[in-house]
Structure 1
Amino acid sequence: MIITLQELQEQLRLTYKSERKYKKIPLNAGFFLYLIISVFYRNFAFHLQNMNEIKINIQETANETIIKFVSNSILINGGSYEYNNIDEAKNSPLAQQLFYLPFVKKVFITANFIAIQRYDIVAWSDVEEEVREQIQVYLQDGNMVVKEETATKKDAVEVYAEVTPNPAVMKFGTNKALTQTDVEYKNIDEASKSSPLALAMFNFPFVKEVFISENYISITKYDMVEWNDVYQEVRTFIRSYIQDGKTIIAELPKKETKQNVEIQKENLSETSAKIVDILDEYIKPAVASDGGNIAFQSYDEETKRVSVILQGACSGCPSSTATLKNGIETLLKDMLPNQINEVVAING
């Protein structure tokens, strides 16, 4: 406990009285100095004990199924670990213990916090305090968090699913770079020549087309299934594939290589080059956010027609015609007056 000045004075008085009565110690400055140092040492020891005591605080996240348990001390020496089940958590006694709780779906461990994702069978408000206490007691007892010498450290890979304007296409975004050049595969034969990931995706019977961009994959499905029934399976597969460090694209198809794209742009007319710049700056970012891509194909100087290729979610999208006419065509006409008559998609 912390001793106040008033309590110190009273303790000195009582101690002095007791010592004088039973031990006949004379009152002098040295005796008082001894008492003051003793009390100070006890206060310091109390503070030191509190500083070394591990405390866990609860911190909410943007995802209502995930909550953080933040520690005031270091849990692991750098890196991070993610576990989806008790089998994956063999190198983490703490994570294994947490998976015995029936509502724990996923455990994520970093240097100073433990994030837990729950199943929908409970609300965090009903169990978070018990989990916090369990983690805190576990750590205070000096138990091991992760056997780091035997663990294979992997950077955490996140994959999230997004709906697109095209009901047949789902976008799977990730926090990892996948490719520097957009690549589209219409069938398993195309994929087998260059992309092990796309080839693996075509093993799903409902996958019709695969489009791989810088940090997302757009999957076009057949009408045999609904996305609500299969998107979670696809998301998990993609995340595991990337997490395991497998090859995304072994070799770019010849028509998709960066060198070819640059050579084509160098040979473009002045108007064509301006069209490409406008598409790159104004159109592609918006299209990419919906899981698609638009590529310049040609510009006819006589008819003033712009031909483009739609990829990913844009290909076959019911609203692609309206987007071409009301969005892209209008923008090009405004920015290049008297040079554009129409914009058409050669695969729309």
Structure 2
Amino acid sequence: MNTTAPAGSVSIYAEASPNPESMKFVLNAQLVSDGVSVDYPDAESASNSPLAQELFKFDYVGRVFIAANFVTVTKTTPDHTWTQLIPELRTFLKSYVESGGPIFLVDPAAEQRAAQQAAGADHSAEDQETAQKIIDLLDNYVRPAVEQDGGNITFKSYREGVVTVNLQGSCSGCPSATVTLKSGIENLLKRMVPQVTEVVAEGVTAGF
């Protein structure tokens, strides 16, 4: 699956995220369908993305997150400063996209739809209805704001009042993510979906 990069030069700029170990690289090219994002917490998980595989070849890259028109890179250690790393990563991404390098081998949108369907398969009709309300709220109210910070939050499951979500990209390991999860997202879901009693997160790195 290639990008829909515009003809000619690809522009790219780096944008800081709330997580000091993550940097968001924004392009004027579509990398994946709107509303779809993919998180690779390590090189082994990136078999579907040649772009992510190439990024993991940089020894300081510890996590790669790809969304509509940006890539968030999380570095492995604070010893490397972004002042040193940004020029190299920006040059690589610009060259890769301009040359038409493949982003994914298989469209991740289909995989994500299948995963959501599987997650709701063993729920009662009432729980499935509640889960869909939660997914809609996350998609419409939470995801756009989180993506601006270079990350994402995805629904995993709803069971007996407890919503489980996955934190991706810059959100995983972000010092402010706990506050956002509890004071923001949990309060929103409790207010809009009375059945919700708690929101817990997966995909959280050590130190979170």
TM-score category of the 2 structures, normalised to the smaller one: 0.7 to 0.9
In 2 relative to 1, CA 266–344 (structure 1 residues): closer, same or farther, beyond 3 Å? Answer: closer
Matched, 1:286 2:149: no
2:3 counterpart residue number: none
Alpha-carbon distance change, 270 to 260 in structure 1, aligned in 2, over 3 angstroms: same
**1:279-302 Cα shifts (integer Å, max 9, x gaps):** 00000000000000101011112x
SS at match of 2:32: coil
Paired residues, number: 191
Give 2:129's match in structure 1, choosing from 270, 289, 292. Answer: 270
Distance 1:259 1:279, change over 3 A: closer
Q: How far, CA to CA, are the matches of 2:65 and 2:41 in structure 1? A: 9
Which residue number corresponds to residue 173 of structure 1?
A: 26
Partner of 1:163: 16
Shift of 1:248: 1.0
TM-score for both structures, normalised by structure 2: 0.85
Structure 2 residue runs of 5 or longer lacking an equivalent are 1-5
Aligned match of 2:83:
228
State the match for 2:54 in structure 1: 200
Distance 1:266 1:194 in 2: 24
Q: Say whether the 8 Å CA contact 1:208–1:219 is kept in structure 2.
A: yes
Determine which structure has more spread, i.e. the larger CA radius of gyration: 1
**Offset, 1:306:** 0.9
Percentage of pairs with the same residue: 45
Check conservation: 2:120, 2:157, Cα contact below 8 A. no
The residue aligned with 1:295 is: 154
Question: Which of 236, 248, 252 is matched with 2:103 structurally?
Answer: 248
Among 66, 75, 79, the alignment partner of 1:212 is 66
2:73–2:169 Cα contact (<8 Å) kept: yes
SS of equivalent to 1:329: helix
Q: Distance in 1 between matches of 2:59 and 2:110?
A: 26
Cα distance, 1:252 vs structure 2: 4.8
Q: Distance in 2 between matches of 1:256 and 1:228?
A: 37
Q: Is there any run of 5+ residues in structure 1 with no aligned partner, and where?
A: 1-152
Superposition deviation, residue 205 in structure 1 = 0.9
Contact persistence 2:74–2:170 (CA under 8 A): yes
Give deviations 1:250-296, integer Å, cap 9, x for gaps. 2257x971441453477461111100000000000000000001010
CA RMSD of aligned residues (A): 2.0
Q: Is the 8 A contact 2:154 2:167 kept in 1?
A: yes
2:87 aligned counterpart, secondary structure: helix
- The equivalent of 2:193 in structure 1 is 336
**2:14 and 2:182 mapped to 1: Cα distance?**
28
Q: Which residue of 2 aligns with 1:190?
A: 45
Q: What does 1:136-155 align with in structure 2 at a 5 Å threshold?
A: 154-155=7-8
User: What is the CA distance between 1:156 and its match in structure 2?
Assistant: 2.4
TM-score of the aligned structures, taking structure 1 as reference length = 0.52
